[in-house]
Amino acid sequence: MTDFLRRLWVAVVLIPVLLAGLYLDASPWSILAMAAIATMFAQDEFLRMALPVRAEDGERPLRLVVVGLLGGAISCLPTIFVHQGSKVGVVLAPLLSLCVVVVAATMLLRRHHLQSAGRHMAVCLASLLYVPLLACVWSLIKLEFGPSWLFMTLALAFLSDTVAYIFGRLWGRHKLYPAVSPGKTVEGSIGGVVGGVLATVGAGSLWLVPQLPLKHALVLGVLGSLVGQVGDLFESMLKRGYGVKDSSALLGAHGGMLDRVDALLFVAPVVYYYVRLVVQA
């Protein structure tokens, strides 16, 4: 139960900050700033795990500057351009194309790393797709749908994780995927779905987002929770593959930023595109 109390303490600290960004600032900029900071740390943690620095090479500073700037552009520019009337697809397509060209050119300039160029290219592009591309919709949800939609999205990701933990501790008997995450159980996964539905129905359809029909709230709760659990398991698989316990020590005993947003990275695009393509169709 100590781990649960630690998670609760993180929520006690972060929730007021998020609520202030959601409801005290009517513009998307405060949330965009928070999202950009979280994205920067999460992407950097992924790069540190995938491409650990060796003392004899000078790889780290260049990788941080080039790929970090590209990640920042992907996470921020869609909101800025959409705010000015553009569409997400119109912004992201050339931006992603530019990222491929810039990373490729950077690899070509690093002649002393030719043997590892292919691996570095793959990791850098994967980091751009995995973190900032998925995270760029966080502020877009507030900008296009309103702050309560983003609150519901956050509730979906974090309440699913919390209820899954409670169910797993109380009734967990059957391992879900022990090769990746020995502590997760089938019962916990079911609890996660329950938590997701509670978020989209309770915090969403019946309270903050009454324009979300109940049938869509149910579908979104189940789908969002399952996809969020995939995101959680995927990050656990990465950490096991790279031989690390946490993505970083940024949050002390709570791990790194990527550990905290791994599910949200997968949940937010589901909410954004489900609302855009299904609810508002």
> pLDDT tens, position by position, for the chain (281 residues)?
456 666 667 667 778 889 999 999 999 999 999 999 999 999 999 998 998 876 555 555 565 678 999 999 999 999 999 999 999 989 999 999 999 999 998 888 877 677 888 888 899 999 999 999 999 999 999 999 999 999 999 999 999 999 999 999 999 999 999 999 999 999 999 999 999 999 999 999 999 999 999 999 999 999 999 999 999 999 999 999 999 999 998 877 678 999 999 999 999 999 999 999 999 98
Total number of domains in the chain: 1
Q: For the whole prediction, is pTM greater than 0.85?
A: yes
DSSP E strands, the chain: 175-177, 181-185
Contact 134, 268 (CB under 8 A): yes
Domain that holds residue 113: 2-279
